[in-house]
Amino acid sequence: MYKKAKENFANPKIFRVAKLTVFISLVFLMKISAHSNAQTVTLKLKNATVQEVLKQLSRKTGISIVYDEAYFEKASRIDIDVKDVPLENVLDICLKQSGYSYSVQGSTVVIEKGKSFPKGHFTNNVITVSGVVSEPTGPVLPGVSVIIKGTKSGTVTDSNGAYTIQAQETDILVFSFIGFAKYEVAIEGQSYIDVVLTENSTELGEIIVTGLVNRNAESFTGSVKTVTKQQLLAAGNQNLFLSLKNLDPSFQIQENLAMGSNPNNLPVVNLRGKSSMPDLTGSFSGNPNQPLFILDGFETTLQRVYDLDINRIKSVTILKDASAKAIYGAKAGNGVVVIETVEPESGQMRVNYTGSLNLEAPDLSGYNLMNAKEKLQWERDHDMWTSPLPEINSFREDAYNKLYQDVYTKGVDTYWLAKPVQTGVDQKHSVLFDGGDEAFRYGASFSYNGITGAMKGSDRKTYTGSTTLSYRLKKLRFRNMLEFSQNNAHNSPYGSFANYVGLNPYWTPYDENGKLKPIAGFYPNGATSDGWAITYNPLYNASLNIIDESRYTQVINNLYTEWDIVDHLRFTGSLGYTSQRNGSDKFLPPSHTDFIGYTEANGLLDYKGLWAKTDGTMRMVQSNLGLSYNAVFGKHFLFANATLNIADQLTKVNTYVAEGFGSDNANDISMGTHYQRASSPTGTDDHARTLGVVGIGNYMYDNRFMVDVSYRTSASSIYGANSRWGSFWSVGAGWNLHNERIVQNLGIFSNFRIRGSFGYTGSQNANSYMTLATYRYGTVVYDGTKGATLIALPNPDLRWQKNMDYNAGVDLTMFGDKLAITADIYRKITTNLLVDLSAPPSFGFETYKTNLGKTQNAGYEVSLRYQVFHNSARRAYVNISGTATHIKNTLKEISNAFGSYNKKQNENVTGENKLYTGPVARYIEGQSLSALWAVRSLGIDPASGNEVFVDRNGNLTDQWSAQDLVIAGNADPTLRGTIGFDVGYKGFSISLICLYNVGGKIYNATLVERVENIDGRSNLDRRIYDAWSEPGDISRYKRPEVSSSIQVINFTKPTTRFIQDNNELFFSTINVGYEVQSRKFLETFRMERLKIAFYTNELGRISSVKTERGAQYPFARNFSFSVQATF
């Protein structure tokens, strides 16, 4: 059925290029399109009902046929045998002697009684009613059926969503369209009625896009979440991941407290929690819990999805349980995200443009640092500028007095946090145009996605151009998509944000002449030392010719074909080719403070400056060949599919590091004098081939009971010969209770489905050298030959991880489609975990990889949406929504190697090392992977200022011991989800989505690092004023240690004192928009649609924890002004 494309697009220069491109394409294909005949039909049926014939006509031609089923309930059966006959002739045969006629309106055929109203209907007060039907987000809806209630008279909306109908003043109009809730409105004498149809989550319903083969939603038993483009844009306009996070709580983005809003840091995502062990020793080739991404039927990368223009997306389907994802076998264990982009639509050429102006404003609200006066006074109070040695004390007094004069006389108070940050300003533009007829369609898109980060000098810019050509010839359909992408990214030359957080505010970055100083400041180096410690000025480094950039160029060509061999039997084939070239460069010039210690005296003068360069290529070929059968036999529906999948991927990466640059202005690695000391160029060469055979079966009886089965056997070259093949399967069943007469009689449910499934899937994230003996060349040459060593001890029996998924769910739509509820309960057991196993010393390796261990994820998820108010005439609506999910992760079985790992972690946290001030990971059977380990604390002793602990025997002690570590909480929240509402009135709309986390725990590292484990030389958190200072003080924090050498006994180790409740409410997205209602205004500018919108993303949060966020890169609030127009 026709559905209007809603993609948007760019600036005038690009638009002129776009028009030229279309013109050339049309001229080139003129001969083909010129021979496109009118729609013809080949059909042979015996003793068929008129309804059966009409359904076959609709399926074969793709044209919607609107009629009332009651028209032909008593009609005689007919025989029909035609070949390449125009559709109009076939319709004449069907409707002959029936008393009904038809009219063709665009791509819709409307059948009605003699094109007139039933006798006696218009006795008086007949008026003409017209209007426009659209979606809540604005786009008009062509092909909507408009029927006078209680009659068989009606019409359909045209390509502009407009309709005109004659009716009595007291009549009721019924509007219906697949994928949307049916809507009724009383005319009440109105001559103009605009209607907004709301999406029906159950009818989105008509098909489920799995990426391999489309499924009938009515008979599908899997747990899926389908999100439309309109829903994605309502939930945010930054990128796909953030929108999905706002819409489905099972899709989780791990908050990165270190990298914050860095646009070049790819997100870490998982679906329904973590099931793999953490990547402790480089076991995995990527995030071991990352879902599989499918884009237009082919596997793709996280990076490509991150950079994908959200305006090109038609829908996203998240496959969650075994019944939905088992068709992807060894790669589906962590779930599957299927993305479908828009296809060209027939009709006159349309141009859709979307442009936005975006601001990235740094969010520093998590910092509570001292100002210059506070810090200098605190140091004075803690005797940091005094010494017991008179000769040293005199120098320190002079230095302190100089700082005092700077602060109190000159007003020095440097807010270092503001120095490396900015309000990033950039733009996004997206242009899409398409057109054609039923035989030939064309489309092209151009987009620019610019992100200027919250730190100066950081940005990410992506340019994409694509073309799509589609051609239909009788039973054959061909479609080719060609895409070119270029990405350039720059990291900030200002370095880590942490370098600025610790700088003292009484220092200045500039000298008396206004020039940047290499050294920010000095501070005393110990109580009895006459030396001074140095802190370098990061702003000085940022002023140098630092290069830190990455880039990639990607070319993708996907070819699709469909062939309707005979009735009910279809062949599909696809071939995808992806080529990508990656590169990165990082240059630290010789004047960088990292090389201050490189002198002639130590022989390092000629090694100043460093350039690291990485080049890589990736080539991937994928192909799918499938055969599908579907048919309806009375009350029986049958679907079957068999697909062959083949993929070949070759990846090469080379890295070079050079030293010895004579100038800060070097612009190429070739200007270095030699490779980095004790190193040589390195590289990897990975080649992986996979083969899969898939079988799918689906049966439904009477639209009530359904059964799903799927099976896949897969082979991969990255595994050893002993375990190259694996089998994966699923079984699902469901019951459409809304089609039961007893439920229909209740008059409450328009959809009531219960479903359940179980089955096996897998995770394939291992590196190939773990199963196949792979050698790496060294730097030592003996007798003219380089030596080589094994990278790891290979295990030819290593297999992919396997997941046993159990899922049960219910889908409800009630009260005239006002209330929609979906709920699922699930359990996932992961076996064959990839872990380390201790090896005998004679092996030459301490451990080797094997499959041993088991984890379990159990939980539930619920989503709800309720239509509080709706008035089509005023285009007014109020909707509220909410979601919730709970996941409990348990480590069921682990190997003995984790005993030594846990012991090593205890040793690390016991030593005097600031890297281990927080809880360390320990893995124990029966516990969660996210458990927080700490020693129980009763707080600070008022008399001594020391912390009082509870040891493993329950005794009180002031000595911290790793043997007393206990589980003190879980970082995973008990409940997480979303709360949202959206309101609209006459083109104005407001929507809000909030995220919440409840019941989790967090170790507040800020308090440890800036209140207790300090030496006093860096800036401090103001909460240090609450620290214990003298006997009798009641305090949460012990007296801070300010000596140059912190004693182990005073060094704060993981303690329950700093484990806090982590309850948060995020204001994730606020969207305010207006769609122009004046048709006259739109027609003046030859526009079909115009909408303006304002977004705020990550506006703020309410949290039970006050902690610093964005250690290396600050978080940011995003503001965006957007314009969408269709011409």
Q: Tokens 């996907």: give the residue.
A: 558
Tokens, residue 584: 């990165």
What percent of the chain is modeled with pLDDT above 70?
87
155 near 106, Cβ under 8 Å? no
320 near 749, Cβ under 8 Å? no
Tens digits of residue pLDDT in 758-808: 999 988 666 666 777 777 777 777 777 877 777 777 777 777 788 999 999
Q: Out of 55-59, 334-338, 686-690, 926-930, which region has the weakest mean confidence (pLDDT)? A: 55-59
In this prediction, residue 136 carries a pLDDT of: 66
What does the DSSP assignment read for 709-773? EEEEEEEETTS-GGG-EEEEEEEEEEEEGGGSHHHHTTT-EEEEEEEEEEEEEEE--B-GGGTS-
The residues, any chain, with a CB within 8 Å of residue 166's CB and separated by 6 or more, are: 117, 122, 126, 127, 128, 129
Q: Is the pLDDT of residue 73 over 80?
A: no
Bin 793: left if φ > 0, else alpha if -120 < ψ < 50, else beta. beta
Tens digits of residue pLDDT in 237-262: 889 999 999 999 899 998 888 899 99
- C-alpha dihedral sign at 144, 149, 152, 154: negative
In this prediction, residue 415 carries a pLDDT of: 96
Residue 970 — very low, low, confident or very high, per pLDDT cuts 50/70/90?
A: very high
Q: Is the pLDDT of residue 742 over 80?
A: yes
In this prediction, residue 189 carries a pLDDT of: 80
Tens digits of residue pLDDT in 424-458: 999 999 999 888 887 899 999 999 999 999 999 99
What does the DSSP assignment read for 295-345? ETTEEE-HHHHHTS-GGGEEEEEEE-SHHHHGGGGGG-TT-EEEEEE----
- CA dist 476 and 239 (Å) reads 36
Q: Supply the mean pLDDT for the chain.
A: 84
760 near 804, Cβ under 8 Å? yes
Tokens, residue 818: 């006002």
Closest CA relative to residue 766, chosen from 727, 799, 796:
799
Q: Is the pLDDT of residue 118 over 50?
A: no
Tell which wins on pLDDT, 95 or 579: 579
Q: What is the dihedral of CA 586, 590, 596, 600, to 10 degrees?
A: 130
Tell which wins on pLDDT, 86 or 29: 86
Tens digits of residue pLDDT in 934-954: 999 999 999 988 899 999 999
Give mean pLDDT, residues 400-418.
94
Residue 987, SS3 per DSSP: coil
Q: Strand 108-113's sheet: what is its strand order? A: 64-66, 108-113, 100-105
Give the CA distances from residue 848 to residues 313, 475, 722, 792, in Å, rounded to whole numbers and listed in that order: 43, 55, 17, 7
71 near 100, Cβ under 8 Å? yes
In this prediction, residue 491 carries a pLDDT of: 96
Give the CA distances from residue 74 to residues 69, 98, 702, 934, 1114, in Å, rounded to whole numbers and listed in that order: 10, 10, 21, 78, 71
Residue 901, SS3 per DSSP: helix
What does the DSSP assignment read for 1009-1054? IIIIS--SSS--BGGGGGB--STT---SBPPPP-SSS--GGGS--S
Give mean pLDDT, residues 510-526.
87
Q: Is the pLDDT of residue 1108 over 80?
A: yes
In this prediction, residue 861 carries a pLDDT of: 96
In this prediction, residue 137 carries a pLDDT of: 56
The residues, any chain, with a CB within 8 Å of residue 829's CB and separated by 6 or more, are: 803, 804, 854, 855, 856, 892
Tell which wins on pLDDT, 1017 or 463: 463
211 near 191, Cβ under 8 Å? no
Closest CA relative to residue 448, chosen from 489, 485, 491, 481:
485
Q: Highest mean pLDDT range out of 80-84, 683-687, 793-797, 1063-1067?
A: 1063-1067
Tokens, residue 571: 């062949």
In this prediction, residue 17 carries a pLDDT of: 39
In this prediction, residue 999 carries a pLDDT of: 94
N- to C-terminal Cα distance for the chain? 21
Q: Point out which residues pair with 991 in neighbouring strands.
A: 982, 1071
Q: Is the pLDDT of residue 133 over 80?
A: yes
Q: Point out which residues pair with 521 in neighbouring strands.
A: 535
In this prediction, residue 39 carries a pLDDT of: 63
Residue 652 — very low, low, confident or very high, per pLDDT cuts 50/70/90?
A: very high
Give mean pLDDT, residues 278-299.
74
In this prediction, residue 113 carries a pLDDT of: 63
Residue 703 — very low, low, confident or very high, per pLDDT cuts 50/70/90?
A: confident
1026 near 1052, Cβ under 8 Å? no
What percent of the chain is modeled with pLDDT above 90?
48
Q: Is the pLDDT of residue 218 over 80?
A: yes
Closest CA relative to residue 245, chosen from 1120, 1124, 1098:
1098
The residues, any chain, with a CB within 8 Å of residue 527's CB and separated by 6 or more, are: 387, 388, 1043, 1044
Residue 6 — very low, low, confident or very high, per pLDDT cuts 50/70/90?
A: very low
Q: Is the pLDDT of residue 7 over 80?
A: no
Domains of the chain: 40-113 (3.55.50.30), 126-196 (2.60.40.1120), 209-223+227-236+259-345 (2.170.130), 237-251+253-258+356-362+419-493+544-1126 (2.40.170.20)
The residues, any chain, with a CB within 8 Å of residue 591's CB and separated by 6 or more, are: 544, 664
Residue type for 445, please? S
Q: Is the pLDDT of residue 59 over 80?
A: no
Question: What are the two backbone dihedrals, phi and then psi, of residue 248, each rounded to the nearest 5 degrees?
Answer: -135, 115
855 near 892, Cβ under 8 Å? yes
Residue 1043 — very low, low, confident or very high, per pLDDT cuts 50/70/90?
A: low
Give mean pLDDT, residues 17-46.
47
- C-alpha dihedral sign at 215, 218, 219, 221: positive
180 near 186, Cβ under 8 Å? no
Q: Tokens 């019944």: give the residue.
A: 323
In this prediction, residue 651 carries a pLDDT of: 93
In this prediction, residue 384 carries a pLDDT of: 84
Give mean pLDDT, residues 813-832.
92
Question: What are the two backbone dihedrals, phi and then psi, of residue 520, each rounded to the nearest 5 degrees?
Answer: -75, -40
Angle at alpha carbon of residue 605, lines to 603 and 608, rounded to 5°: 130
Tens digits of residue pLDDT in 866-916: 999 888 767 788 999 999 999 999 988 876 667 777 777 777 777 655 556
Give the CA distances from residue 1035 to residues 918, 1012, 1039, in Å, rounded to whole numbers and listed in that order: 21, 12, 9
Give mean pLDDT, residues 1067-1095.
87
Give mean pLDDT, residues 397-420.
94
Give mean pLDDT, residues 716-736.
87
In this prediction, residue 5 carries a pLDDT of: 34
In this prediction, residue 932 carries a pLDDT of: 92
**Residue 116 CB neighbours (<10 A):** 12
In this prediction, residue 32 carries a pLDDT of: 31
Tell which wins on pLDDT, 28 or 46: 46
Residue 526 — very low, low, confident or very high, per pLDDT cuts 50/70/90?
A: low
The β-bridge relationship of strands 108-113 and 64-66 is parallel
In this prediction, residue 918 carries a pLDDT of: 76
**Residue 708 CB neighbours (<10 A):** 27
Tens digits of residue pLDDT in 1002-1039: 999 899 888 988 888 899 999 999 999 889 999 999 88
In this prediction, residue 143 carries a pLDDT of: 76
Q: What is the dihedral of CA 322, 326, 332, 334, to 10 degrees?
A: 0
Q: Is the pLDDT of residue 982 over 80?
A: yes
Tell how far CA 159 is from the center of its chain. 34
Q: Highest mean pLDDT range out of 199-213, 279-293, 741-755?
A: 741-755
Q: Is the pLDDT of residue 24 over 90?
A: no
Give mean pLDDT, residues 512-534.
79
Residue 276 — very low, low, confident or very high, per pLDDT cuts 50/70/90?
A: confident
- Residue burial 755-773, b: 16+ Cβ < 10 Å; e: rest: bbbbbbbbbbbbbbbbbbe
